[in-house]
A and B are shown apart, each in its own frame.
Chain A
Amino acid sequence: MRTRTYWGLLVFCNLLIGAFFIWRLQTDNQQAFLPGEATHGHHQIELACEACHIPFEGVPQKACLDCHAEELEMANDSHAESVFSDPRNLAELELLNARLCVSCHVEHRPEMVTSMGVTVPDDHCFHCHFDIAEQRPTHTEMDFNTCATAGCHNFHDNRALYEDFLLEHSDEPGVLVTPLVSKRDEPEALGPPLSFGDHDAPADREVDPALLAEWAGTVHARTGVNCSDCHVAEDPKALWDDSPTHEACKSCHENEVSGFLGGKHGMRIASGLSPMSPSLARLSMDPEAMERELGCTSCHDAHKFDTTRAALDSCLECHADNHSKSYKDSPHFKLWQEEVSGIGVPGSGVSCATCHLPRESHKKGDDKWVLVQHNQNKNLQPNEKMIRGVCMECHGLSFSIDALADPVLIERNFQGQPSRHVESVDMAVQRAIEDLKRKKK
């Protein structure tokens, strides 16, 4: 009798467990299957399983490339898949299949992660570059676990670290002669300037005059962007929308919106999840901001669209880590205050956005334009990615490398001087001198 009860219980309990998990598999929330938390890069979308996984097929390389291919291409990826595709590399690929992102970036195994979401040991360079000291005697005493951790080399993006670049910028001072960032270009005007009375909100709607006044003072009004341009979708039959989303902004600001969706602020929306909120962040956030949600207007303020606020105050309303909290004591902030108050020339101030949402120059033929990159992840980690696009607008290369290799200085938001010196520029210069001597002989 007892045995029968037990077997009944066993079957019931197993069916129950099975049914629960299979049910979860059919829903959007498959957390029950999550084997471990995702890395800092993916944790926001760790519950959007199908962003990466295909049922019974695992994680295809394409899933990684869908989001990261463009960036790797831009970075002139030093270890692109094609570098390894020749069969002559098969022996090395057996040690580490570097053709696949997931060989070095395994997800949901938090204990395996070192830095940059990498899950192979730091000295993995050894597999292929074990004999580097023979070609570069200066590297004899260096350990293989310092290749990518000492500010000298990156696996993918070496745009600011390759030897000839180091040499070209070897004699730059800490602060350049004209430390200025480029001026931002605005989208083309939709029409002639509009003023308070020109607004086209429907007559039957009660409109707060304060909002209208805010709008009337913006670039939007100046460039002919009326209420209906954002509040009514392009479809003429569409109704008035009280809270337009990034979709409305996209019609004029496509580049900015696509950057936003690709970065830490918009990646949840892009994956079909609820918007990112400080409560979901792993960085320290202001306790009072926990329930806020991120969209274009959370930083830009609907109607006001004040870029000065968006570049600094908006960030500090949520971000409360040491680097952010130290900012207002930094020389960068002093420059920003001077620019905003009119003492400093335009482009001389350094706000949060100057570095994290930098102005990027684009060029096609004789056309040149400058846009704000809203994907802050593009230059975030490894931080050497920031050197060319950001730091070198105002600083010399060697100084920039040193500053970014000093975690304490970063935490203090660059108050003071770098405490350590990365010798890569010196080594490049030394080799150039030796080469000259050799040629003279």
Chain B
Amino acid sequence: MGLVTVAASAVTLVIVISLAVIPYSRTVRQNIPFDILWRSGLWQQVTGFLLLGFSLMCLALYFRKHWRRLWFGSFSSWRVLHGILGVAGLIVLVAHTGMRFGSNLNLALMIVFVAANLGGALAAGSIWSRYQFARHLSHKWRRRIIWIHVLILSPLPALIALHILSIYYF
């Protein structure tokens, strides 16, 4: 049932952060210099590689599904972990970008990343509905939604690799 919480919080989080761009501080005299996250190259690398790590860990669900014998734990607990990582990734994404989408390559990466997370939230919701309202959504539809989530993710490896490359190249 962890999924319920995860799905609900994911959807809320995405909606909230999509609406509000966190502005840079207008003073150097704030108590918590939160915008150091976006100003300092070090913090940008910390949050950036954390995001990369979370993304790779999320990938584990795929392998858990297809290499059943090699892994421990039930699939549903893996799925809950996947959801938690997804939500945590969104929080780190806010720390990394302040929800500023940027331009060009960065814009593409942000759109794909946020859309994939929304797709994930949708997928989580569809699985939740299986528990809440039995057979409300057909098995076929659930699979389709999960496929949408996976399809959106497809360009992510190249975009992330190029993003990292561009940061160090320029």
Docked CA distance A126–B157 (Å): 44
Chain A contact patch, size range: 35 or more
Scan residues 30-78 of chain A and give those whose CB is less than 8 A from a CB of chain B.
Answer: 31-37, 49, 53, 55-56, 58
Binary contact track B153-170/A, C-beta < 8 Å → 1, others 0: 011011101100010111
Contact partner of A56 (CB less than 8 A), chosen from B38, B100, B154, B168, is B168
**CB-defined contacts of A36 to chain B, threshold 8 Å:** 102-103, 106
Interface size on B, residues (CB 8 A): 30
B169 & A35 in contact (Cβ 8 Å cutoff): no
Q: Does B23 contact A (CB under 8 A)?
A: yes
B170 & A112 in contact (Cβ 8 Å cutoff): no
**CB-defined contacts of A3 to chain B, threshold 8 Å:** 66
Say yes or no: A112-B162 contact (C-beta < 8 A), given A14-B155, A14-B157.
no
Say yes or no: A21-B105 contact (C-beta < 8 A), given A55-B169, A126-B29.
yes
Q: Does A353 contact B (CB under 8 A)?
A: no
Q: Does A213 contact B (CB under 8 A)?
A: no
CB A282 to nearest CB in B, in angstroms, measures 16
Docked CA distance A258–B3 (Å): 66
Docked CA distance A191–B165 (Å): 59
Contact partner of B154 (CB less than 8 A), chosen from A9, A31, A32, A121, is A9
A121 & B23 in contact (Cβ 8 Å cutoff): no
CB A28 to nearest CB in B, in angstroms, measures 15
B28 & A25 in contact (Cβ 8 Å cutoff): no
**CB-defined contacts of A124 to chain B, threshold 8 Å:** 28
Say yes or no: A49-B23 contact (C-beta < 8 A), given A6-B150, A18-B162, A32-B104.
no
Is chain A's binding surface mostly helix, strand, loop or mixed?
helix
Scan residues 258-308 of chain A and give those whose CB is less than 8 A from a CB of chain B.
Answer: none
Q: Does A123 contact B (CB under 8 A)?
A: yes
Docked CA distance A17–B151 (Å): 15
Greatest chain A CB density within 10 A among B27, B66, B151, B170 is at B170
Q: Contact residues of B with A, CB < 8 Å?
A: 21, 23-29, 38-39, 66, 100, 102-106, 150-151, 154-155, 157-159, 161-162, 166, 168-170
Q: Contact residues of A with B, CB < 8 Å?
A: 3, 6, 9-10, 13-15, 17-18, 21, 25, 31-37, 49, 53, 55-56, 58, 95-96, 106, 111-112, 120-124, 126-127, 144-145
CB-CB nearest 9 A-B residue pairs: A14-B158, A17-B158, A18-B158, A53-B170, A10-B154, A35-B106, A33-B166, A21-B162, A121-B27
